[in-house]
């Protein structure tokens, strides 16, 4: 998963630029509205809303924007009606791609996503085509910052983590969704400072992309999908060797 991990690092670096363009605010606002509509407006009893608000604060979204989105989710203010939709497809090299979206026009979203896949050498697939490849897991990312693998392993595994993956610049701690909060609390109590904490989808298997053109097409597909306003999250099971990923990303 080295290449995939490196893509995650690139995404985090891009987050500030996305916020400036307003794209990130748009995505978070939609997530707050949907999370509120489904689970209510109290973040203490609505984990999804709590996570969305945390993301909003991390992106420096104004407090009034957050409150307005919650009011819209509660139906106290008029606004566009959004629905959740998932889409599945195949990227270059047969990479599995799973997309979570929030849209006000499902037909338009399907058409635009199909165009993006086609443009990047992939194709949109039928529901159920690739969903089975991914499973829900807690993911906690910790920058190395002088930490040893043994230090992280000891704390994480004792707290109930399933796995700890070591990369050049960071550690990834994998948990079950049920143990996520407990492991996260233990990590923070130990004095570690996670750069990212979330419940996400993790692929059970990966597709290695060693051809430069194919890898480049895959990264382009990821970028175009994530830039789409209706797309909230994109998951893919590609594995690009670290040296090729660095060459393509210019890092």
pLDDT of residue 196: 83
pLDDT of residue 2: 43
Cα separation, 155 vs 144, in Å, equals: 15
**Mean pLDDT of the residues in the chain:** 88
Comparing C-alpha atoms, which of 209, 207, 205, 198 is closest to residue 233?
198
pLDDT in tens, 10-36: 565 555 455 555 688 899 999 999 999
Task: Tokens for 79, please give them.
Answer: 């606004």
Record: fold of 2-73: Arc Repressor Mutant, subunit A (1.10.10)
- Domain segments of the chain: what residues? 2-73, 83-131+205-249, 133-203
200/119: higher pLDDT: 119
Comparing C-alpha atoms, which of 137, 251, 140 is closest to residue 195?
140
Same fold, 2-73 and 83-131+205-249: no
**Domain boundaries 83-131+205-249, corresponding CATH code:** 3.30.70.980
Beta-carbon contacts of 132 under 8 Å, excluding residues fewer than 6 positions away, are none
* Homologous superfamily in CATH for domain 133-203: YebC, transcriptional regulation domain (3.30.70.980)
Q: Looking at the predicted structure, is the pLDDT value of residue 41 above 80?
A: yes
pTM of the model: 0.81
pLDDT of residue 197: 85
pLDDT in tens, 113-147: 999 999 999 999 999 999 999 999 999 999 988 88
Tell me what percent of the residues of the chain surpass a pLDDT of 90.
Answer: 65
* Overall average pLDDT of the 98-124 stretch: 96
């Amino acid at each position: 998963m080295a290449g995939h991990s490196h893509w995650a690092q690139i995404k985090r670096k891009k987050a500030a630029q996305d916020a400036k363009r307003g794209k990130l605010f748009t995505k978070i606002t939609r997530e707050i509205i949907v999370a509120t509509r489904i689970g209510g407006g109290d973040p203490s009893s609505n984990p999804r809303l709590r996570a969305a608000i945390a993301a909003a604060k991390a992106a420096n979204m104004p407090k009034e924007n957050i409150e307005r989105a919650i009011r819209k989710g509660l139906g106290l203010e008029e606004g566009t009606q959004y629905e959740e939709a998932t889409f599945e497809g195949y990227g270059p090299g047969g990479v599995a791609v799973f997309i979570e979206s929030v849209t006000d026009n499902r037909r338009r979203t399907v058409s635009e996503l199909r165009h993006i896949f086609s443009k990047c050498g992939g194709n949109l697939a039928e529901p159920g085509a690739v969903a089975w490849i991914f499973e829900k897991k807690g993911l906690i990312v910790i920058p190395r910052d002088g930490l040893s693998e043994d230090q992280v392993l000891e704390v994480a595994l004792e707290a109930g983590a399933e796995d700890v993956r070591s990369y050049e610049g960071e550690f990834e701690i994998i948990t079950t969704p049920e143990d996520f909060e407990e492991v996260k609390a233990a990590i923070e109590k130990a004095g570690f400072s996670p750069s990212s904490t979330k419940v996400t989808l993790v692929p059970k298997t990966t597709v290695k992309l060693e051809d430069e053109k194919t890898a480049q097409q895959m990264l382009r597909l990821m970028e175009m999908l994530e830039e789409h306003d209706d797309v909230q999250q994109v998951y893919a099971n590609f594995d690009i060797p670290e040296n090729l990923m660095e060459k393509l990303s210019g890092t």
